[in-house]
Structure 1
Amino acid sequence: MRWSTRLILLVVGMVLLTGIISGGLALHNTTTQFNRYVGQAQEAQALRLAEQLGEYYGESGSFQGVEIILGMPRGGMGRGPMMRGMGGVSFYLSDTAGRVLWHPLAREIGERVSLENEKVKYPVKSKGEAIAYLLPLDIQLWGSRNLESQFTTSVLRSIVWGTALSIFIAVLLGLGLSRALLAPLQNLVRAAREFSQGNLTHRLEVKGNPDFGEVFAAFNNMAENLSRQEKLRRELVADVAHELRTPLTILSGHLESMQEGIEEITPENITSLHDEVLRLRGLVDDLQQLSLAEAKQLPLSKQEVNTVKFAQETLALFEAEAKEKDVEMSLRAENNLPFVYLDKGRIRQVLINLLSNALRYVPRGGRIFVDLKREENQLLIKVSDNGPGIESEDLPYIFDRFYRGDKSRNRMSGGTGLGLAIAKGFVEAHGGTIGVESHAGKGTEFTIRLPLTTG
């Protein structure tokens, strides 16, 4: 069932339900009030007639000729006496023994009724004593239409017609509203179809209803991410192919030269070929580790680690290179830092990637600092330098695979471009985060946050 049909049925159902509930309550309340009004009118009429009859009896000493007050009885089953007010004369008269003295049907006069069984009776008094009773008639006995039935039918008919008219209006409004409300959804469906056909450039215009505006904005953000991911995927395939092609080409060229006798098989040449094999294996290993980290399946071997000693050991790996470049490398740590459970090998590789990048770009005589401190339930590791910094347009992408901010770097001197992506994956595998702040010409600072867990 289409959403437009569902919307119309929903509106009609709500109108119908509202009509039934409100109509039923209105009918019940109106009928109750009507019956109360008729009952009050009947009681007032009875009291007035009882007073007149009492006065008549006091003057005449009997009820002979009472027809001048109550009307002339009719013989047969006609419509009865002339109606007065709401119900006309809707009573009959009996004495205290139950003998009917007056009735709108002549044949009923002289009959007896059981006064004990009559719940409603109005006494006719003379000198303070009851001399007769006025008893209410069932008007239907002589074929008069029941006023309550008439009134109830009239009210019910009005409710039914009102509900039917409301349903008709609801259908018209539902058709109009469905087009207005579902138009944004139809735009969303068309955009989804464009995406399914590979058109990742399609975007929705964010305007109109703010709720749909949020949906459209979220869709456009998703589209931007998908488009970017697709671009990264293509670039990844091209980069991986290039990274693999370079060492394979070198290996193939050297091996062919050795086969043809152009190049001698010497230890130096074998070492060169072995270096290319190691480079290939390193690239494949990096890609495998990165894939495991992104799939949240990276195995971790956590152990309790003294963070200060761990950082000192890692910095020691770069002492010779830093001394050669005349770069100052120092560790600044808070006192009484807690031991942390982490995979030493993974986090050491993260620090190695950050420190090697810093050494690569910090100028001679520069500085590199590693800061350790506790912040609430986290361990903060900051690696900062006073190098050339990173351009603002490159910052959002530096953790992407194969991304290089320095476009002039070649793969021989600049690595594979996987270091920061692997660092991000390893840190997140520990439940932590890694971020970067940098300004061109003012240096760069990477911040790693690791939870202080106990296992």
Structure 2
Amino acid sequence: MLLTQGLVIVTGAVTMALVAVMLAPGLFHEHLSRAQVPLDGDLRDHVNEAFLSATSTSLGVAVTAAVITALVASWFVTRRVVRPVHAMARAAERIAGGDYAARVDVNGAGEELDSLGHAFDQMAQELAATQRTRAEMLRDVAHELRTPLTSLRGYVDALSDGVLSVNPETLQTLHAELSRVERLVDDLATVSRAEERRLDLHLVPVAAGQLVESAVRVATRAFAVAGVELRSEIEADLPLVLVDVDRIQEVLANLLDNALRHTPAPGVVTVLGRRRRAVVELVVRDTGDGIAPEHLRRVFERFYRVDAGRSRQKGGSGIGLAIARALTDAHGGTIHAESQGPGRGSTFTVTLPAPARPGQATAAPSRR
């Protein structure tokens, strides 16, 4: 910064000096001639010398003052800019070293640097939250795998020691535990592929109402056994949507499974298909446990449970809603949860792009 300002000052001084030396004497003498001031040889030389001396002195004083001003301004601006930059560099080094609590204080450094500092702090907070979620996820994965593996180990040891004999009931239990492990691994793989946009989506135009009817038909028996009423409400003339039918059915199945687990008999779960301007909404609404406001933004996280005390058998693995969000995002849609609070039911809404005209399939891109 100082060098740049110095270059400007030197360029300006040299330009002024050249202009003064080349043009100023002639103009000065011309004005003296017009004023009819007689100048002999000695007087002319003295006037020229005085003019050049005054000009050089003025330039020297001006350049000196400009250089001092540039030094002071550069020091002030550099200090104002470099201090927060150094602070952010030190904080970045701490974050790179695993200290996600590092923050910067750059208030008063200027609008741009203040904005940069706030953005840096927000990034650090997001990284800290991501790291916590990652640690929680690894811990939950270990727990989810340990439970069936411990059960399997117990059965294998019992069979080895002769405590148990190989019979259909024992084999059925072993198969159930193995299926539980396989299902968890498959679910994790599905979420990871969807979030990384590596899913192969086979998009076809399908009536939105057909998606609702199919999901309700598949889930009817489970709801009947649990004593929970399952309803469907489909608006007339819903448009076609371009989706992978199996994946969207998986989204609705996970939402219905979640609603069934959290809706005690004789509750009601309603599946709606409706159009809202440029989108189609597939809604699963229940009259069950409800969700507290502080949990709404986290219900789609992997392994997150609103009630941490619920058993795995009763509360599920905590990954179904994460799969629903990942698959919906892969279709270019959105999913969100609403609830008036505990005991007042929940509403999950899947939003898919709709065509401009009824009957025209949306041109959603295939994502991998």
Report the AA paired with residue 201 of structure 1: A
In structure 1, stretches of 5+ residues that fail to align are 1-6, 46-84, 91-138
The 5 Å alignment of 1:215-230 reads 215-230=116-131
8 Å contact 2:281–2:352 — kept in the other structure?
yes
Partner of 2:322: 421
Cα deviation for residue 211 of structure 1 reads 2.7
2:64 corresponds to:
164
Q: Report if the CA contact (8 A) 2:335-2:349 is conserved.
A: yes
Paired residue for 2:2?
8
SS in 2 for 1:271: helix
Q: Encode CA deviations 1:116-175: one digit per residue, 9 max, x unaligned.
A: xxxxxxxxxxxxxxxxxxxxxxx5xx8952845753563244224412331133113312
Q: 1:353 to 1:32 in 2, by over 3 A?
A: farther
Matching residue of 1:154: 54
Please give the alpha-carbon distance, in whole angstroms, between the structure 1 residues aligned to 2:226 and 2:22: 97
Partner residue of 1:329? 230
* Deviation of 1:19 (Å): 4.6
2:272 counterpart SS class = strand
1:133 aligns to what? none
**Partner Cα distance (2:194, 2:26) in 1:** 75
Which of 340, 348, 357 aligns to 1:446? It is: 348
Superposed CA deviations along residues 16-74 of structure 1, whole A, max 9, x for unmatched, are 44555677678888667535523422xxx3xxxxxxxxxxxxxxxxxxxxxxxxxxxxx
Residues 279 and 21 from structure 1, CA distance in 2 versus in 1: closer, same or farther, beyond 3 angstroms? farther
- Distance in 2 (CA, whole Å) between partners of 1:369 and 1:264 is 47
Q: State how far apart, in whole Å, the 1-side matches of 2:101 and 2:270 are.
A: 44
Tell me if structure 1 keeps the 8 A contact 2:84–2:106: no
Higher relative helix content = 2
Question: Is 1:391 the counterpart of 2:289 in the alignment?
Answer: no
Whole-angstrom distance in 1 between the partners of 2:235 and 2:12: 70
Aligned to 2:94: 194
Shift in alpha-carbon separation, 1:148–1:438, aligned structure 2, 3 A: farther
Distance, in Å, in 2 between the alignment partners of 1:368 and 1:425 is: 23
CA distance in 2, matches of 1:366, 1:29: 98
Could you say what secondary structure the match of 2:99 adopts? coil
d(CA) in 1 for partners of 2:137, 2:295: 17
**1:38 aligned to 2:10?**
no
Tell me how far 1:176 sits from its aligned partner.
Answer: 2.7
Contact preservation (8 Å) 1:27, 1:156: no
1:354 deviates by 0.8
What does the per-residue CA deviation read over 1:176-224, in whole Å, with 9 as the maximum and x for residues that have no partner? 3211222111111121122122211122236223332222221121111
Q: Deviations over 1:378-406 (max 9, x none)?
A: 22222222222111121221111111111
Superposed CA deviations along residues 403-432 of structure 1, whole A, max 9, x for unmatched, are 111111122322211111111111111111
TM-score by length of 2: 0.88
- Matches of 1:273 and 1:149 in 2, distance apart? 110
Q: Which has the higher contact order (CA 8 A, sep 6+)?
A: 2
- Cα 1:40–1:377 change in 2 (3 A) is same
Deviation at 1:261, TM superposition (A): 1.1
Give the structure-1-normalised TM-score.
Answer: 0.72
Partner of 2:358: none
Check the 8 A contact 1:431/1:451 in 2, yes or no: yes
Q: Which stretch has the larger CA shift, 347-356 or 165-174?
A: 165-174
Q: SS at the partner of 2:297? A: helix
Q: How does 1:43-122 map to 2 (within 5 A)?
A: 45=36, 85=37, 87-88=38-39
Q: Deviations over 1:212-256 (max 9, x none)?
A: 222222112111111111111111111111111111111111111
Give distance in 2, aligned partners of 1:25 and 1:422: 76
The 3 A distance-change label for structure 1 pair 32 and 406 is farther
- The equivalent of 2:114 in structure 1 is 213
Is the 2:100–2:124 contact (alpha carbons within 8 Å) kept by the matching residues of 1?
A: yes
2:151 pairs with one of 230, 233, 250: 250
1:8–1:178: 8 Å Cα contact kept in structure 2?
A: no
Distance 1:30 1:201 in 2: 66
2:278 to 377, 386, 390: 377
1:280 to 181, 184, 189: 181
Is contact 2:256-2:284 (8 Å) kept?
Answer: yes
Name the CA shift for 1:39/1:144 in 2 (closer, same or farther; >3 Å). closer
Aligned-pair CA distance for 1:14: 3.9
In structure 2, the partner of 1:342 is 243
1:408 counterpart residue number:
309
Cα distance between partner residues in 1 of 2:187 and 2:143: 15
Contiguous gaps of at least 5 residues in structure 2: 355-361
Shift of 1:281: 0.8
1:367 aligns with 2:361: no
1:445 counterpart letter in structure 2: T
Are the structure 2 counterparts of residues 18 and 382 from structure 1 closer, same or farther at C-alpha, using a change threshold of 3 Å?
A: farther
Q: CA RMSD, aligned part only? A: 2.5
Task: Describe the superposition over 1:258-295 as per-residue Cα deviations: whole angstroms up to 9, x where unpaired.
Answer: 12111010011111101111111111111111111121
Q: Tell me, in whole angstroms, the C-alpha distance in 1 between the residues paired with 2:20 and 2:331.
A: 67
- CA displacement at 1:439 relative to structure 2: 2.2
Aligned residues: 355
| Alpha-carbon distance change, 29 to 376 in structure 1, aligned in 2, over 3 angstroms | farther
Residue type at the aligned position of 1:192: A
